[in-house]
Structure 1
Amino acid sequence: MGSASSVLTQYDIEEVQEHCSNLFSQQEIVSLYQRFCQLDRNAKGFISADEFLSVPEFAMNPLSQRLLKMVDGLNFKDFVAFLSAFSGKATTQQKIEFIFKVYDSDNNGKVSFNDILEVLRDLSGSFMSDEQREKVLRQVLQEAGYSKESYLMLDDFIKVLGRSGLKMEVEVPVD
């Protein structure tokens, strides 16, 4: 797995499966590897932010700039681990942990009012004013028992989102 142009061995496939908690079948990993190689245009063994932006669904995502920080320079194993949160087999906790990382853009292990506000700004664009976003966020936090000064930790995200029936899945086409 050193360079993207090499062929996956059975050992490589099993290693990647283990790395992503067996959330993808061997066939899915082979398909993901083919897609990884297509994205890794220069066969460097990792995918750059620019290469990720070549995926239309990714480029159009309102959170693409946040996600780019998470994906820039991923090798194949980490690429699959990144995508594992979108597996139909991923637990709600695994999905929430991923969402938490999206909100925790400075990787300090906590999400502030401003972190959430930035995500809301990305998601709502010009449809809402900053004043409207702040008002909505204050109300949502208050209803959940938090204030503008609160920092949300991963456990808080699990508590709040764990009951939501979170759907976040991408189907991996298998040839």
Structure 2
Amino acid sequence: MGGKGSKTNKKKNPAELTEEEIQLLLNNTTFSREEIIKWHEGFIKDCPKGQLDKKKFIDAYQAFYPQGKADKFCSHVFKVFDSDNSGQIDFTEFLIAISVTAQGDASKKISMAFRMYDVDKNGKIDKKEMEKIIEAIYDLLGEEHRKGENSPSERVKTIMSKLDKDQNGYLTEDEFVSGCLEDSVLRALLAPNA
């Protein structure tokens, strides 16, 4: 009777792709069912347990930017992709992020960049947060010329003066998105895939 085996508290194996997840991805990305299944096969080949941790994520990024230091920048990116704050990126989080960065429209990509730059998640980007991101981008790209107008603090002053329409010392998501959409130079720096 009510023995140990009678409860069905079986947790889903993170390496399995359920029909529910496929439906979620079909509704939130532009990928077809076949593409989702192919992406999943590749993800599981690289992450057999169905989870991508921060270290593996940074290692993967480092392969694309061997001349730079990817860890600071990747920490910001990882936080955005890890939508449930589990310290792991599962396949669904991964593919939604890929979809937005690879296929999303410009404003969606810029919104994702805003969430990455909003380090303390308060819905605003202040000068300090923007400076940390510029430094992380410079590290990633291996940029060594950081003096004069190319210094992170000068770069931030320029960005803030262009985007902070109400001059209150921080950027809202609306200010950030509309400013980047209007200025191709800023868009290339702050949201290069948009």
Match of 2:125 in 1: 111
What is the TM-score normalised by the length of structure 1?
0.75
Does structure 2 retain, via aligned residues, the 8 Å contact 1:138–1:148? no
Match of 1:127 among 145, 158, 162: 145
Identical residues among aligned pairs (%) = 17
- Any gaps of 5 or more consecutive residues in structure 2? 1-10
Match of 2:25 in 1: 16
Query: Taking CA–CA contacts closer than 8 Å with sequence separation of 6 or more, which of the two structures ends up with the larger relative contact order?
Result: 1
Letter in 2 for 1:92: A
Contact 2:43-2:91 at 8 Å conserved across structures: yes
Structure with higher Rg: it is 2
Which of 37, 43, 46 matches 1:30?
A: 37
Matched-pair contact (CA < 8 Å) for 1:39–1:52: no
User: What value does the CA root-mean-square deviation take over the aligned residues?
Assistant: 3.0
Please list the CA deviations of residues 80-119 of structure 1 after superposition, one character each: whole Å capped at 9, or x if unmatched: 122221232x122211111001101111111001111111
Displacement after TM superposition at 1:129 (Å): 4.0
TM-score (norm 2): 0.69
Instruction: Quote the Cα distance in structure 2 between the aligned partners of 1:95 and 1:122.
Output: 19
AA paired with 2:26?
Answer: Q
Residue identity opposite 1:39 in structure 2: D
Secondary structure of the residue that 1:152 maps to in structure 2? strand
Please show how residues 84-99 of structure 1 align to structure 2 within 5 Å.
84-88=99-103, 90-99=104-113
Match of 1:68 in 2: 78
Higher share of residues assigned helix: 2
Aligned length in residues: 163
Deviation at 1:12, TM superposition (A): 3.9
Q: Distance in 2 between matches of 1:85 and 1:134?
A: 29
Q: Matched residues in 1 for 2:96 and 2:173: separation?
A: 19
The one-letter amino acid of 2:146's match is M
